[in-house]
Structure 1
Amino acid sequence: MSEAQTPGDESRQRLGFLSAAEAAALTHRGVLIPDPTSVLVSPGVRLGTGAVLWPGVILDARDGGAIVIGAGTQLFPGSRLVASGGSIKVGAHAEIGEEGGFTLKAEAGDVIEVGDGARLLGGGSLTRSNRIGRGAQILGPIRCQNCTLGDGGSYRDPEPDARGAVLKGSGVARQIDVPIGCVIQAFGLFSEGVLRQQSYFHPKPAG
């Protein structure tokens, strides 16, 4: 092992990832990586200034796949993004993987888009093609396939019905389309869930 190598570098490179030193060098481009030895990043992954890779993050682009992460986006422990011939694009200031990680997997022909300020929390996944709009949220261990969540304000927007679309609960969501300001809460099949305005869950105070 050369002085520049760390334990595991040979395995990293055989699996198509940057060495630990190369991962650490991403910090020179403004990426925040508290523990470079704990993250796996493929060459060619594009990371915006201020993006945060917490320990245990995997960004795996292979077979012509592409991964783009916007400025200021946080990838929490357990986040795994795999572009195996497909495309994954995450906008700015999104939050991916808090409260249990999150998996995004785009195979050949798949396009996964996650808008600015979106939140994907609680151990769920996106597979096949999905468009998670600006400010939209997936809250819980939900397996999403071919879903579209409408653009809107972030979860901090004072008007609930102007926020990005939301899926919350647990289960499977296939070909679900949720417009701005709406939410489906389900525990099982989201196709059987009820589409409601977000103000149903977040009513404005009386007076």
Structure 2
Amino acid sequence: MSQAQFPGDDARRQLGFLSLAETAALAHRGVLIPDPRSALVSADVQLEDGIVLWPNVVLQALDLGRIVIGRGTYLLPGTRIVAAGGTITIGAGVEIGEEGGFTIKAGSSEVIEIGDGARLLGGGSLSHSCRIGRGAQILGPIRCQNCTLGDGGTYRDPEPDERGGVLKGSGVARNVEVPRGHVIQAFGLFSEAPVRRQSYFHPKG
């Protein structure tokens, strides 16, 4: 099909995104994208195979920013990932955007790392430099800035205290660190809430 059939292509190119045909062609690289018309992907974004881009996903690299997304990651509707001069690295098997989308933005010289098997949902956001470890979770509309969540098992791990660090609730988490097997639940400022073992919320027996 000719480019003339896609009147939005000029705007896509001016904003640094792939044309509709180029977006649809991501399928040839193993990316599953059921609705190419609703997805916006910058030309320089690095995508491994098995990634799923659901409708209304934006992957935007600006000002020499870099986005790398690993194999089998799910980006659900309303996910927006912007590297505006910074670097965003997302591992394999990550789930982002369920229950309200998610926003990730790295400005100039900032680095955001998200480990394998992490889960980010509920309309939250990451900004500034953050490290979200393997299996870590952000559950709810939480604004995370300069946060570190420890590596661990995923939410499917039968031992709660072996899972990656978790933030759950709503509010602002700034300069917060959660070790492996621990969780902070808050509805306001996460820096003022206690750090508990995950087994506190998931006792056995």
- TM-score (structure 1 length as normaliser): 0.97
**SS of residue paired to 1:203:** coil
Counterpart in 1 of 2:10? 10
Alignment deviations for residues 48-99 of structure 1 (CA, whole Å, 9 cap, x no partner): 1100000000000010000001000000000000000000000000000110
Report the number of matched residues.
205
Query: For the Cα contact (< 8 Å) 1:4–1:21, is it kept in 2?
Result: no
Q: Deviations over 1:2-36 (max 9, x none)?
A: 55541311111111100000000010000000001
Identity %: 73
For the 8 Å contact 1:56–1:79, the answer to whether it is kept is yes
| Alignment pair present for 1:44 and 2:28 | no
Taking the aligned partners of 2:109 and 2:54, their CA distance within structure 1 comes to 29
Aligned equivalents of 2:126 and 2:14: distance in 1? 27
- Counterpart AA for 2:151: D
Q: Deviations over 1:82-125 (max 9, x none)?
A: 00000000000000011000000001010000000000000000
Structure 2 residues without counterparts, runs of 5 or longer: none
RMSD, aligned CA: 1.1
What amino acid sits opposite 2:186 in the alignment? A
TM-score normalised to structure 2 length: 0.98
Distance 1:3 1:56 in 2: 21
Quote how far apart the aligned CAs of 1:198 are: 0.2
Amino acid at match of 2:82: V
SS at match of 1:67: strand
Distance (whole Å) between structure 2 residues aligned to residue 152 and residue 119 of structure 1: 12
Question: For the Cα contact (< 8 Å) 2:101–2:123, is it kept in 1?
Answer: yes
Q: 1:7 to 1:88 in 2, by over 3 A?
A: same
Aligned-partner Cα distance in 1 for 2:88–2:3: 35
2:7 counterpart SS class: coil
